[in-house]
Amino acid sequence: MPRKPARHHRLLPVRPLTFSPFARSVARVATAYLVKHYMHNAVQQSAGDEFKEKLKIIGRHSESSEDEEFDGVVQADFAFFDPKPDDFHGVKTLLQSYLDNKQWDLSGFVDLILGQTTVGTVVKLEDDEDNGIFSIITALNLGRYKDHKCITELKEFLLNICHEKDKIGNLRSLLGDEAQKVGLLVSQCVVNLPPELLPPLYDALFDEISWATEDEPTEELRNSFRFKFYLVVSKFYKQKNANQKRSSSTDKDEAFVYIKPEDEILHKLSMWSFLFPLQTQQVATHELKNYQLTGIVMAVKAEDISSFRQQLHALINGS
């Protein structure tokens, strides 16, 4: 089913969506670091001079003093599009650290994402000649693509980082016997993408998955989108010694600071999850001295996605 770009034109504050003064401070620091990282990779991938300048503008706003918030607005006209081959470098840049610092077939992974045009969305600035990618979201069937090198390497990575004996069996099941029912939910965006875009982005994804079960040309393809589970690989900030500190009523620091707002909802809805250490270098700041950038893998039942969509709308619209 062809899809027209969905445009969202408004004055959007450039401000992280978080849930306490402390978390706002941490998010601002994380934002500044990630913008620098993204800009560095964007330069390496030749994303285009005009697009780089736009990122620099966002980055300067993000790096404002940690004691004051940026209260300006950036007028942006975002549009949703189906993935296409020209998006390769932009999507690859966004996913550069998807599996931490692992050397793997990321190019092949991006090719799978861009080759699945009926399910998946890229976000760009409307009428942007440089084709800069601000967000990518999709779901890949782990069984359908099981013979691809990138999926084999992704599965090996996940099995190697899972050290929780009560979770490894569940993980092996989703990656093996039940892989045909599992969608790898991939969602990555530049920092400071307006959170108002998140609900329509996820709505578009899950609507497309539903349509694909009816509109794909073969029964095999239609069945490949009838997911029972979603697997999510992401990152957040975890308080060091969180288990001991959470028992202290005087400690106001939060155990987790979610870089992506939707991850908190997915974490709560997950049927199981596990954390893993990251090798990626963490920015050293006063705000983050008690926190460690940590990887997280979450398994979510497809039947809980309706609740996820409702909670995401409530979170963003009520923020």
pLDDT tens for 261-282 read 999 999 999 999 999 999 987 6
| SS3 call for 97 | coil
Is the pLDDT at 165 greater than 60, yes or no? yes
**Nearest-10 crossing angle of helices 305-317, 198-215:** 150
Cut 0.85: pTM above it: no
Give the integer Cα–Cα distance in Å for 291 and 255: 9
Q: Residue 120's Cα: distance from chain center in Å?
A: 13
For 243-277, the DSSP string reads HHHTT-TT--S-SEEESSHHHHHHHHH-SEEEEEE
The domain limits of the chain are 135-318
* pLDDT single digits (tens) 120-141: 999 999 877 777 999 999 999 9
Tokens representing 293?
A: 């950038």
